[in-house]
Chains A and B, each alone.
Chain A
Amino acid sequence: MLAHSTTSPARSATGAVGKRRRASLVAVAAGSALVTLAACSGPGSRSGSSADATPTAVNTAVANTPTTLTLFSAAGLEAYEQDLADAFQRKYPKIKVKLRVESDNNFNTVLPRVLASDSAPDIVQPYDLRGGVKDGLLTNLDAYDKAYGWSDKVPASALAPGRVSNGVVGSGPLYQAGGSAGPLTGVFYNKKLAAKVGMKTPPRSIGELEAVMAKAKKSGITPIVASNQDGLIGHLYNLLLGDYMGAQELSDLVYRKPGATLQTPAAVQATKTLHKWIKAGYFASDVNALNQEASYGKFTGGKGLFFFQGSWITQTLDKNFKGKYGVFPMPPAKKGGMYAGMTNNTLAFSIAARSKKKDAAGLFLNFLTTPEAAKIAVGNGYAALTPGADSKAEPSLSGTLTKQIQTGYAAIAADNGFDSWLQNSAPEVNTKLTQQLQLLVSGKVTPTAMVKTLQSTYADALKSN
């Protein structure tokens, strides 16, 4: 950025000629600066993509036209998305689906730029749906919905998170569509340690969960494994928020429903609960210095009883640990209350506005609504609501991990308890939440002050876009 050359004798002996030359250089630089500033009115003015972002005529008979679709994927989802692509190709051999993979760390960062580029991929799972719609990067899928009849096949609750209207998620035109499947975010537990503290059934309330943790602490077992260098205590925090605020209220906040606020007694109570657990020593003392990778190692190494995470970890955790851990959904705040937990529809994708193969991409989205696609999601650690599934099953500590994920997911679905991560409400909230959680662990912020800061960050973010 800076041309820092070392002091050389030739440089220090600057004569009059050198000075004049430098002056003319400055003039040239200043001149070109003015030209640059004047040439364009402001950055991003060109962004309105030339491609058609709202197609009206849809061709569903594309299965026999050879073409290649590009699916932009994050490395952590590569295996799953490759399975989907393979299954699609088996069904429609003329259409190839090629994966373009970006590392997990970079995916969110590069996604908007990739979508705005001339070599945009065709299919993508957008990280920031609202932003993508605002910048005209995603295709309005209403015409495809009508042509394929998705609204009749797929539960409305699964399509709602894919709708955006005036910067509010949940209703309006459809931008992300497919089937219905997602991760269960809940309480993973070490089976051996659970037996040691005598946990025989999943706790049915926050109070019961607390009792188990207190018992573990007393017998020298760290109750909670977590990483907070990256702010991932946030999974637990969001589960508590959903429990105390209710799934609907948390969702309203994330989806920016007018009037939604975090400044509520319920949110403060959720924050106080987390604070209480921190003070009780339920986390390891180095939690602020750990990242996710290290926390995986701690959990599989038997360094703690509970791990508040999502079922995506089943794809990453050490395979040797398989069978030694299970999962149950986050218990309700009070016994007999409503289940709540974050999820996102991993079986719904968007079509880039700049894609030139929108009709073929539409066929791929339609494939996602089939039972075959749902089966692939389940095989990759996600849960899907398949018709005829035993939705009345109570979460239990027996059965396979896949079974536990399905019953946990079904229990939340039965209570209409799916919500989303608070940090998805705005990028600024994401940055701020990590910092605030670290401060809470360090004892440098009170729960009340933390809620206040997060709410003001949220309000500022809403104002600026």
Chain B
Amino acid sequence: MELTKSPGLSRKQGASGSRSRHRRRLRARRWAGWLFALPALAFYAVFNARPVLLSIQYSFYDWDGVGASTWVGLKNYSEVFTDSEQLNSLLHAFYLILFFTVLPVLLALITASVLRQLQGRFTGALARTLLFLPQIIPGAAAGVAWMWMYSDNGVVNQLLRAIGLDGLARPWLGDFAWALTAVGFIGTWLSTGLCTMLLLAGIGKIDGSLYEAARIDGAGPLRQFWAVTLPGLRNEIGVCVTITIIAALASFDVVYLATQGGPGTQTMVPGVAVYNLAFNDNRLGAASALAVVLTLIVIAVIAPLQRLFREK
């Protein structure tokens, strides 16, 4: 959205030329900029802004999606916070952050640090490819694949039985206590590769002389990691955290394919709940209200993080 500007130039003009002429020229330039952005803005307005505004409008109505609608004020919103099913779906979304964000970022930090040593070699390329593979597989396909792996005779249970942990083997996605965690690990598998690639790129940008200086000062690999790698990756970690938290809070495809929110409502997340309300229950208003609340929550979580990870 930000238009490129040249602060140096305008400051000089503001000091010498007449203020009004400067302002006029600035304004003209500003409108010219808008003209270039117009096609994109039009698309944005039609395909992004309009649906968002319509959702906000629908959220105040009781509407089945086709017939007549009735204005219900804030009723749909109060339902989001009083209906235990919708409220729980929001809590589940926050639990998923642990698996979509915390675990992948930690794993990616370790992997990226290790891979830094392997860079350029064949094994490094192979490791990077394998790690990034989950990223090019659609979430929906991953959901189906994991359904098989988690099934009673799937790979996960076969492994557990092979090492003598028969007691732990179970139909994971149908298990009341473990389903949400099982779904969470699919998210970990999906996000880790992306985070690793981002962090690896970030490490590549860190000035090599910093590591050299640290080594000369007697810093071991661990100390190098804390003093050089971690501070240098501040931006990239910010990006990882932002993307994966949004993926966790707004998750839909993986959960819908793997469990559809079941058993019971153990893995119900807001995305699936919105879908159910809108397309199964034909309650567009209630669905829109939950979607709006979810959007606000995502913004409320992401905005402070942006500030935190911003480069000083």
Known: A18-B2, A439-B263, A441-B263. A44 touches B69 (CB 8 A): yes
- Bound complex: CA A284 to CA B170 (Å): 12
Tell me the number of A-to-B contacts counted with CB atoms below 8 Å.
Answer: 157
Chain B residues with CB under 8 A of A441:
263
Residue from B63, B246, B264 having most chain A Cβ neighbours under 10 A:
B264
Interface of A toward B, CB cutoff 8 Å: 1-4, 6-7, 9-12, 14-15, 17-18, 21, 25, 29, 32-33, 36-37, 42-45, 47, 109, 112-113, 115-116, 131, 134-137, 228-231, 284-290, 294, 427-428, 430-431, 434-436, 438-439, 441-442, 444, 464-465
CB-defined A-B contacts under 8 Å, sample of 26: A6-B239, A9-B311, A18-B2, A29-B49, A32-B53, A33-B56, A36-B53, A42-B68, A42-B69, A43-B57, A43-B63, A47-B68, A109-B280, A115-B66, A135-B67, A286-B151, A288-B263, A289-B173, A289-B174, A427-B280, A428-B281, A428-B283, A430-B280, A435-B262, A444-B264, A465-B64
- Interchain CB contact (< 8 A) of A285 among B152, B264, B310: B152
Q: Could you tell me if A427 and B54 are in contact, using CB atoms closer than 8 angstroms?
A: no
- Whole-angstrom distance between the Cβ of B93 and the nearest chain A Cβ: 15
Q: Could you tell me if A2 and B67 are in contact, using CB atoms closer than 8 angstroms?
A: no
- Whole-angstrom distance between the Cβ of A450 and the nearest chain B Cβ: 11
Q: Give the residue name and chain of the B residue nearest to A110 (CB).
A: B279
Residue from B49, B66, B172, B238 having most chain A Cβ neighbours under 10 A:
B66
Q: Give the residue name and chain of the B residue nearest to A445 (CB).
A: B264
- Bound complex: CA A229 to CA B267 (Å): 12
Q: Does B123 contact A (CB under 8 A)?
A: no
Chain A residues with CB under 8 A of B53:
32-33, 36-37
- Interchain CB contact (< 8 A) of B306 among A7, A14, A45: A7
Q: Could you tell me if B262 and A287 are in contact, using CB atoms closer than 8 angstroms?
A: no
Interface of B toward A, CB cutoff 8 Å: 1-2, 4-5, 7, 30, 45, 48-50, 52-54, 56-58, 61-71, 147, 150-152, 170-176, 235, 238-239, 242-243, 246, 250, 259-265, 276, 279-284, 295, 298-299, 302, 306, 309-311
Known: A45-B69, A47-B68, A465-B64. A15 touches B7 (CB 8 A): yes
Q: Could you tell me if B68 and A289 are in contact, using CB atoms closer than 8 angstroms?
A: no
A-B contact sample (15 more), CB < 8 A, given A289-B175, A428-B283: A1-B48, A1-B250, A2-B299, A7-B239, A15-B7, A33-B53, A43-B69, A112-B64, A131-B66, A229-B173, A229-B262, A229-B263, A285-B171, A427-B280, A435-B261
Chain B residues with CB under 8 A of A287:
174
Q: Is the interface of A mostly helix, strand, loop or mixed?
A: helix
- Whole-angstrom distance between the Cβ of A429 and the nearest chain B Cβ: 10
- Whole-angstrom distance between the Cβ of B175 and the nearest chain A Cβ: 8
- Bound complex: CA A430 to CA B281 (Å): 8
- Bound complex: CA A435 to CA B267 (Å): 11
Chain A residues with CB under 8 A of B298:
2
Q: Could you tell me if B171 and A286 are in contact, using CB atoms closer than 8 angstroms?
A: yes
Known: A7-B310, A44-B65, A288-B171. A1 touches B260 (CB 8 A): no
Q: Could you tell me if B264 and A42 are in contact, using CB atoms closer than 8 angstroms?
A: no
- Interchain CB contact (< 8 A) of B302 among A4, A18, A289, A427: A4
Chain A residues with CB under 8 A of B263:
228-229, 288, 438-439, 441-442
- Bound complex: CA A113 to CA B150 (Å): 36
- Whole-angstrom distance between the Cβ of A28 and the nearest chain B Cβ: 10
Q: Could you tell me if B239 and A435 are in contact, using CB atoms closer than 8 angstroms?
A: no
Q: Could you tell me if A435 and B265 are in contact, using CB atoms closer than 8 angstroms?
A: yes
Known: A435-B265, A442-B176. A42 touches B61 (CB 8 A): yes
- Bound complex: CA A285 to CA B152 (Å): 9
- Bound complex: CA A21 to CA B31 (Å): 11
Chain A residues with CB under 8 A of B295:
1-2
- Bound complex: CA A364 to CA B263 (Å): 43
- Whole-angstrom distance between the Cβ of A278 and the nearest chain B Cβ: 13
Q: Give the residue name and chain of the B residue nearest to A428 (CB).
A: B281
Q: Give the residue name and chain of the B residue nearest to A9 (CB).
A: B311
Q: Could you tell me if B152 and A135 are in contact, using CB atoms closer than 8 angstroms?
A: no
- Interchain CB contact (< 8 A) of A137 among B45, B66, B68: B66
- Bound complex: CA A430 to CA B276 (Å): 10
- Bound complex: CA A115 to CA B67 (Å): 12
- Bound complex: CA A446 to CA B147 (Å): 28
Chain A residues with CB under 8 A of B70:
42
- Whole-angstrom distance between the Cβ of B69 and the nearest chain A Cβ: 4
Chain B residues with CB under 8 A of A434:
262
Q: Could you tell me if B306 and A113 are in contact, using CB atoms closer than 8 angstroms?
A: no
- Bound complex: CA A98 to CA B66 (Å): 25
